[in-house]
Structure 1
Amino acid sequence: MTDHTKTELNDAELSRYSRQILLPQIDYAGQLTLAQSHAVIFGLGGLGSPVALYLAAAGVGHLTLVDFDVVDDSNLQRQIVHREANIGQAKVDSAKANLTQLNHHITIDTVAQTLTEAQVLDLVKQADVVLDCTDNFAARFALNRACFAAKVPLVSGAAIRWEGQLSTYDFRQANGPCYQCLYSEASNGELSCSQSGVLSPVVGMVGSMQAIEAVKALLNLPTLHGKLMIIDAYTLHIRTLNLKPDPACGVCS
């Protein structure tokens, strides 16, 4: 949750974040809000890498990194928070080490285990924003349920081959859709990068957009709430569709 013990930015932080503070939508007050905020990132792979790098660089003061996997050489094509020297390490440890070198002003916690649904909910309740950078439907549905229950904004991204999609489910707002309004939990059309492939910059593109959405959610700026962005990186064609709540949804209806 928001850290109200931090009441001002020091001179080093003012210098570091000066280009963001110049933005009228952020200013000093917004940068201080980011420094007080807690983002929980589930998945430190292709999407979680740019998310973690940009949120750390942007000065989100508390990051919690959640991933049970270890770094493999096949990850390095797209999981840019990791380095060759990190192969064999837990992804959360690799990411924390590299993010700490990027920004020593922030706090980084790690969770390197598979969580029960109750543990996910406990962690989500501590967050100001949650980023779903996972690669399986079971995790996505669990995060959706937890964020809806805790009324915490959920920024959800996905990428495969040349394609990406992005939405923000801001459960602080009434009468909006949730992830399960878009996908049925009974569906089993799951694809994986290991089976279908993915172009490296596609996950970077989607992950960077997730970081933007997270910053906007933390600052109460307009997000993709109620919308789904669909990206075709092959043609660079981007569509944005309106999402409506499903009256039969088992989570949010």
Structure 2
Amino acid sequence: MLSREELIRYNRQIILPNFGVEGQEKLKAASVLVIGAGGLGIPNLSYLAAAGVGRIGLVEFDEISLTNLQRQTIYTTSQTGESKGMSAIASIKELNPNVKTQLYETQIDASNALDIIKDYDVVVDGSDNLPTRYLVNDACVLLGKPLIYAAIFRYEGQISVFNAKRKDGSRGPNYRDLFPTPPPPEMVPSCNEGGVFGALAGIIGAIQANEVIKLLAGLGELLDGRLLLFDSQSFTTRFLNIKSNKNNPVSGEHPIITSLIDYEVFCGLNEVKKDVNDITVHELHQMVESGKVPFILDVREDYEYAISNLNGLNIPLSKLENEVGQLSQNETVIIHCKSGQRSQKALQILKNKGFSKLKNLKGGILAWQKEIDQSMEIY
């Protein structure tokens, strides 16, 4: 039953055709788990709480940074360094005290995903990395939970509803029907490296919340079996149809994934053998401390270098092909970027140009900040 306060609060929603008190009561009785309180998670949390979803869970372990504020609009400058999860939950409670909340201030992985997800009706994927996307997808399939998926990069976004229960009792396609296997890690730049248009996060996140509310209230036609592609520069949309694959390893006719696996290894981010071209930040630090200062090539953008650097030569990856003349093939070149993805591409470019004495700084300057110099500012 809805209280008098709730009838007033949700009045503009209740008077909608095909929604009514019944639809509002469905939302109040429902539970939604949001993975991440970042660019996608924030609009989801805000609109789902405002709409009156009865219980909202949040998985988030990160802290608020200055670079978040361009698109994560519930945080403020004064909150930098504080817990994202705690701040987001406080914001939900301030917006709508009727909503019950649960914060999981931990990284979701194969050891805890099933326990976290099992108590929720719907899962919203607001993550920004491939291992988490495959992990959450597989957990939802194994548990029979619908998954509202989205991803954003630069000016483009995509959304779909995975593993939706249909009228005949079957389940719709899931993430592995769209992307059976992950691409090589070096082919997947993150938003940290490629950038993201701030307003795009709000648009795509709001569409995700729209699909959640439709699903819970039994409204309209879901993005089940369809992938919505949105380009914010041209303001164009298109749809791709997704079909279930009988060879899907988690939901096909003969599934081979019946429990969660190591998704870092699956996505090629945690190889068992160390790459022969890798050098760790501790190895580099030892070289510097011993006076054997190596030649360091920083392939980040100019503005990133200006904020903080390791005193290397700065040639952005986009300019490297035309500026290899600044490098010598006779000395070892240690290449780094922010996290290690652009530097891998740079290493391959230089190999193709005949360079053989090359090392990639594993984990990039982020690893240097975490393990060597915590005072370094990186954005």
TM above 0.5? yes
Matched, 1:148 2:146: no
1:113 alignment partner AA: T
1:152 alignment partner AA: K
Superposed, 1:104-115 pairs within 5 Å as: 104-115=97-108
Deviations for 1:59-112, whole angstroms, at most 9, x for unmatched residues?
Answer: 101110101111001100001122223211111101011121111111111011
Provide the residue aligned with 2:217 in structure 1: 219
> How far apart, CA to CA, are the structure 2 residues paired with 1:77 and 1:71?
12
1:147 is displaced (CA, Å) by 0.6
Matched, 1:180 2:179: no
Deviations for 1:27-63, whole angstroms, at most 9, x for unmatched residues?
Answer: 1011011011110000100000101000011110111
Provide the residue aligned with 2:131 in structure 1: 138
Three-state SS of the structure 2 residue aligned to 1:117 is coil
> How far apart, CA to CA, are the structure 2 residues paired with 1:170 and 1:17?
29
TM-score in terms of structure 1 length: 0.94
Contact 2:163 2:171 in 1 (8 A): no
TM-score in terms of structure 2 length: 0.63
Q: 2:81 aligns with which of 75, 84, 88?
A: 88
> How far apart, CA to CA, are the structure 2 residues paired with 1:236 and 1:12?
39
> How far apart, CA to CA, are the structure 2 residues paired with 1:160 and 1:186?
16
> How far apart, CA to CA, are the structure 2 residues paired with 1:242 and 1:233?
21
Provide the residue aligned with 1:46 in structure 2: 39
1:181 alignment partner AA: D
Matched, 1:28 2:21: yes
> How far apart, CA to CA, are the structure 2 residues paired with 1:250 and 1:220?
30
> How far apart, CA to CA, are the structure 2 residues paired with 1:32 and 1:113?
31
Superposed, 1:14-25 pairs within 5 Å as: 14-25=7-18
2:231 alignment partner AA: D
> How far apart, CA to CA, are the structure 2 residues paired with 1:184 and 1:49?
28
Q: Quick check: 112-121 or 138-147, which moved more? A: 112-121
> How far apart, CA to CA, are the structure 1 residues paired with 2:179 and 2:233?
24
- Ranges in structure 2 where 5+ consecutive residues have no aligned partner: 253-379
Three-state SS of the structure 1 residue aligned to 2:21 is helix
Three-state SS of the structure 1 residue aligned to 2:234 is coil
1:56 alignment partner AA: A
Provide the residue aligned with 1:229 in structure 2: 228
> How far apart, CA to CA, are the structure 2 residues paired with 1:32 and 1:170?
24
Contact 1:141 1:185 in 2 (8 A): no
2:214 alignment partner AA: K
2:118 alignment partner AA: K
**RMSD in angstroms over aligned alpha carbons?**
1.2
Q: 1:122 aligns with which of 93, 111, 115?
A: 115
> How far apart, CA to CA, are the structure 2 residues paired with 1:151 and 1:157?
19
Provide the residue aligned with 1:242 in structure 2: 241
> How far apart, CA to CA, are the structure 2 residues paired with 1:210 and 1:175?
19
1:175 is displaced (CA, Å) by 4.9
1:128 alignment partner AA: D
1:23 is displaced (CA, Å) by 1.1
Superposed, 1:202-217 pairs within 5 Å as: 202-217=200-215
> How far apart, CA to CA, are the structure 2 residues paired with 1:191 and 1:203?
17
Three-state SS of the structure 1 residue aligned to 2:123 is strand
Q: Quick check: 163-172 or 52-61, which moved more? A: 163-172
Contact 2:117 2:139 in 1 (8 A): yes
Contact 2:33 2:120 in 1 (8 A): yes
* Runs of 4+ residues over 3 Å off in structure 1: none
- Ranges in structure 1 where 5+ consecutive residues have no aligned partner: 1-7
Matched, 1:192 2:190: yes
> How far apart, CA to CA, are the structure 1 residues paired with 2:223 and 2:59?
24
> How far apart, CA to CA, are the structure 2 residues paired with 1:182 and 1:197?
24
Relative contact order (alpha carbons < 8 A, sep ≥ 6): 1 or 2 greater? 1
> Identity rate of aligned residues, in percent?
36
Deviations for 1:93-149, whole angstroms, at most 9, x for unmatched residues?
Answer: 010111211111111110111133242112211111100000001000011011111
1:170 is displaced (CA, Å) by 3.3
* Higher gyration radius (CA): 2
Query: How many residue pairs were aligned?
Result: 246
Contact 2:137 2:147 in 1 (8 A): yes
Matched, 1:168 2:164: no
